[in-house]
């Protein structure tokens, strides 16, 4: 998997809200996540910032239950 330092760098988006949510997830939850959840998180990081902020702030909803569960974890 991806080294933690590189993952933390990918979480830095330059938007306070995104940086806070993504880095908090990495610090508190990522190490405990299974392989599928880690892969979903990488998919989340591949999104453009505007899509990502809409997802994390609740303006856009993902269709899959797995991604919804991950987004809920990131938001908490």
* 41 exposure class (CB count in 10 Å sphere: 0-12, 13-18, 19+): buried
Counted residue by residue, the chain has a size of: 76
pLDDT in tens, the chain (76 residues): 678 899 999 999 989 999 999 999 999 999 999 999 999 999 999 999 999 999 988 878 888 999 999 999 999 8
Domain positions in the chain are 4-75
Q: Please name the fold of domain 4-75.
A: DNA polymerase; domain 1 (1.10.150)
């Amino acid at each position: 998997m991806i080294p933690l330092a590189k993952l933390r760098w990918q979480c830095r988006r330059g938007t306070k809200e995104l940086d806070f949510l993504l880095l908090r997830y990495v610090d508190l939850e990522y190490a405990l996540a299974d392989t599928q959840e880690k892969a979903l998180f990488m998919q989340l990081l591949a999104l453009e910032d505007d899509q990502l902020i809409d997802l994390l702030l609740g303006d856009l909803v993902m269709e899959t239950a797995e991604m919804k569960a991950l987004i809920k974890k990131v938001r908490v």
